[in-house]
Amino acid sequence: MSRLIPPGDRTQKWNNRYDPEHIKTITTAEKPTYLAHATVKFNDLYEMEVSVKNVLNGAGVSVADVANYLAYSRQVWKMSKTHDGETLRIEVEGCIVRWVARGLTRSVMEVIRDTVFHITAPSSP
């Protein structure tokens, strides 16, 4: 059974949702939770970047390429938050292929994948 909502009710609901005072009330109440969540994520991101830079230093990567390897690593980090298992391994492999086309070295990215993220190569090519 479907319930049709009159246009005036939809407009009022939209208006209430975007009322600055309503938004301020919600934001004020939830800010500590948002801050705690962001703090954890930023700390995780920082630790990941430090680990990646250690790998890059050990591999003798040029300073000019560090930003691109960090961009690759951030993409893998983001994928690792939304995927897992074989899907994650396949997605990371696609990311490696894209960054190889952009001039990064596959072996360095594989070391980052294996040692920093503890992700193995996909089981099927």
Q: For residue 1, what pLDDT is reported? A: 55
Residue type, 40: V
14-64 pLDDT, tens per residue? 888 888 998 899 999 999 999 999 999 999 999 999 999 999 999 999 999
Q: Give the rounded percent of residues in the chain with a pLDDT score beyond 90.
A: 82
Q: Where are the domains of the chain?
A: 7-116
Q: Residue 17 has what pLDDT?
A: 86
**Alpha-carbon distance values, 63 to 71, 88, 97, 99 (Å):** 14, 29, 22, 17
Tell me the mean pLDDT in the region 71-99. 97
Structure tokens at 36: 């705690």
Confidence of residue 125 (pLDDT cuts 50, 70, 90): low
Query: Following DSSP, what letter does each residue of 11-41 receive, concatenated?
Result: HHHHHHHT-HHHHHHHHHHHHHHHHHHHHHH
- The DSSP line for 76-110 is HHHHHHH--HHHHHHHHHHHHHHHHHTT--HHHHH
Q: What is the pLDDT of residue 16?
A: 85
Residue 112 predicted with pLDDT over 60: yes
